[in-house]
Amino acid sequence: MGRIVITGGAGFLGSHITDRLVSRGDEVVGIDNLVTGSITNIEHLFGEKNYRFVEQDVSRFIWVPGEVDAVLHFASPASPIDYLEMPIQTLKVGSLGTHNALGLAKAKGARFLIASTSEVYGDPHVHPQVETYWGNVNPVGPRGVYDEAKRFSEAMTMAYHRYHGLDTRIARIFNTYGPRMRPNDGRVVSNFIVQALKGEPLTIYGDGKQTRSFCYVEDEARGLIALLDSSENDPVNVGNPNEFTIGELAEIVVELAGSESEIEYHDLPVDDPTQRQPDITRAREILGWEPEIQLRTGVSRTIEYFSGLLGL
Ligand code: UDP
């Protein structure tokens, strides 16, 4: 039990982590500028004695009065369409925001966890991706704003660990999905589900043979908290290793939604990774964690969520 600050606390992943921390008895201070996060993700917590929300941009100086035991830096646009629309904010929150969050952790003598990403591996030449792989990232391509900001945030985190002796954690998060994704988020699971429910064509980018490995948000949040509670300072992949092509995902969504939607092929975005699958040996061994919710179960639950949200 402790007092935990989470940036991006009103976001998709940040709000699920907050729910778990609050319900186990931690006191949580959520910070968010609500650019991609939403009050609807956290308003159910406003009556809780151990929850407080602050609307603030963490790319500027942040300060939280009182004792802090851990700082979790989750603030960032995380969907390709978001970081293409907000390239400079994405770079700033990954660099200046990380520096501010680390500074807060250092001043408080708090543990620090950075939400990094499988995008640090870029379009990977090593498959599945192990934490020792350095990646294949185009620094000047349109995705570079996110990938390089996250790579910088990992470097900055390790520098605070080595130079200041800060107790740090680095989580590399792979494609996560589930309730509280925005319907217009632009990511593949939410796009396909919303399209299937509305009877609109599912938009496959490229030929649909590219792969991703999708982790249900409850599994992801549980894994991230296990990492926070561990004593591991080196990066740990936190994702579901079950790999699917985007074409397979489209078929599963259409079937589970009971939809008659057709498939429509669109251009592949620049630098879209051709394959992605986490090697989670370290997470299994160090955290004793692995995902439990398989894709069909998680997609069914997410369909239920979006049906309610869209009134369908
Ligand atoms: N994608 C797609 N149709 C969509 C949205 C995404 O085919 O409507 C593809 C995208 O090109 C990528 C994969 O699905 O190959 C995953 O995209 P997403 O934006 O969810 O996350 P990424 O893993 O690329 O960050």
- Measured from the CB, is residue 150 less than 6 Å from ligand 1? no
Q: Average pLDDT of 77-86?
A: 94
Ligand 1 centre and the CA of 177: distance in Å? Answer: 12
Q: Which atom of ligand 1 is nearest to the CA of 210?
A: 15
- Residue type, position 47, single letter: G
User: Any idea where the domains of the chain sit in the sequence?
Assistant: 3-176+216-238, 178-212+242-276+293-310
- Measured from the CB, is residue 175 less than 6 Å from ligand 1? yes
Same fold, 3-176+216-238 and 178-212+242-276+293-310: no
The backbone region for 311, taken as left when phi is positive above 0, alpha when psi lies in -120 to 50, beta otherwise, is left
SS3 label, residue 162: helix
Residue 146 a catalytic site member = yes
Indicate whether 141 pLDDT > 80.
yes
Are the CB atoms for 139 and 287 separated by under 8 Å? no
DSSP state letter for 176: E
Query: What are the beta bridge partners of residue 266?
Result: 205
State residue 312's pLDDT score: 82
The string over 137-168, giving b where at least 16 C-beta atoms fall within 10 Å of a residue's C-beta and e elsewhere, is: beeeeebbbbbbbbbebbebbbebbeeeebbb
Ligand 1 centre and the CA of 310: distance in Å? Answer: 22
Q: Average pLDDT of 245-267?
A: 98
For 204-225, what is each residue's pLDDT tens digit?
999 999 999 999 999 999 999 9
- Residue type, position 49, single letter: K
Query: What is the value of pTM for the model shown?
Result: 0.98
Ligand 1 centre and the CA of 14: distance in Å? Answer: 21
Q: Write the class of the CATH domain 3-176+216-238.
A: alpha beta
Indicate whether 76 pLDDT > 80.
yes
The percent of residues in the chain predicted with pLDDT above 70, rounded, is 100
Catalytic-role residue among 51, 83, 121, 146: 146
For 159-172, what is each residue's pLDDT tens digit?
999 999 999 999 99
State residue 1's pLDDT score: 75
Query: What are the beta bridge partners of residue 54?
Result: 31
For 269-281, what is each residue's pLDDT tens digit?
999 999 999 999 9
- How far from 204 is each of 79, 195, 248, 263, CA to CA, in Å? 16, 11, 11, 7
- Measured from the CB, is residue 253 less than 6 Å from ligand 1? no
CATH topology of domain 178-212+242-276+293-310: UDP-galactose 4-epimerase; domain 1 (3.90.25)
- Measured from the CB, is residue 122 less than 6 Å from ligand 1? no
- Measured from the CB, is residue 116 less than 6 Å from ligand 1? no
Ligand 1 centre and the CA of 135: distance in Å? Answer: 19
